[in-house]
Amino acid sequence: MAQEIRFCTPTGPYWFLSPLAIFPIRMTVDDKEFVFPSAEHYYQAMKFYASDSRFNVIINMKNADDARLITKTPEYKINRRADFDKHKYEIMENALREKFKQNKDAAEMLKNTGDAILIKACPVCYKCGFGIGSGENRIGKTLMAIRKELQK
């Protein structure tokens, strides 16, 4: 059986796998180009239109976890993009794909994980992570698919 690599906390050799790890990505949103400090910044900002001031607050935050947490506050839970929830997994997959496409060092580190099973081992994240042993691990599965693409 392949080795497992679990990642979640911002320490250790596999933090680079996290959407919260700082690897800038250039993306076009609402016909304008922006640079996002991380895949997580992009994901959180996509809850809003580029013309919304909250979009710019998110992309200018230094810490990706702060960008995630601010969207949980009452003023960030209203007047979001109507289609965000319908496309949220696709948004994260696109962000992760671009992270490794645009950051060659990160791409090499991902390829160097070989055939290990990648698991986002966040105890409270059941859809994108593994939860407490029962989540869907969408992030890990996406990373393994991207790794396979990079290895070709």
pLDDT mean over 146-152: 95
For residue 110, is pLDDT > 70?
yes
49 token code pair: 């239109």
Quote the pLDDT of residue 3.
Answer: 93
pLDDT at 123: 66
**Mean pLDDT estimate for the chain:** 92
Q: Is the confidence at residue 1, as pLDDT, over 80? A: no
Q: In the predicted model, what is the mean pLDDT of residues 75-100?
A: 96
Percent over 70 (pLDDT), the chain: 90
Rg (CA), the chain: 15
The total of structural domains in the chain comes to 1
pLDDT value of residue 137: 87
pLDDT tens for 19-75 read 999 999 999 999 999 999 999 999 999 999 999 999 999 999 999 999 999 999 999
Residue 34 maps to which CATH number?
1.10.357.40
Q: 100 phi and psi, to 5 degrees?
A: -85, -25
Backbone angles phi and psi of 38, in degrees to 5: -155, 170
User: Can you list the pairs that 146-149 forms with residues at least 24 positions away whose Cβ atoms lie under 8 Å?
Assistant: 146/96, 146/97, 146/100, 146/110, 147/110, 147/111, 147/113, 147/118
Domain that holds residue 74: 4-151
H helix intervals, 82-137: 84-102, 104-111
Is the pLDDT assigned to residue 96 strictly greater than 70? yes
Q: What pLDDT is recorded for position 134?
A: 62
pTM (2 decimals)?
A: 0.92
Nearest-10 crossing angle of helices 84-102, 138-151? 40
Q: What's the confidence (pLDDT) of residue 93?
A: 96
Neighbours of 113 (CB within 10 A): 19
Q: Report the distance separating Cα 52 and Cα 47, nearest Å.
A: 10
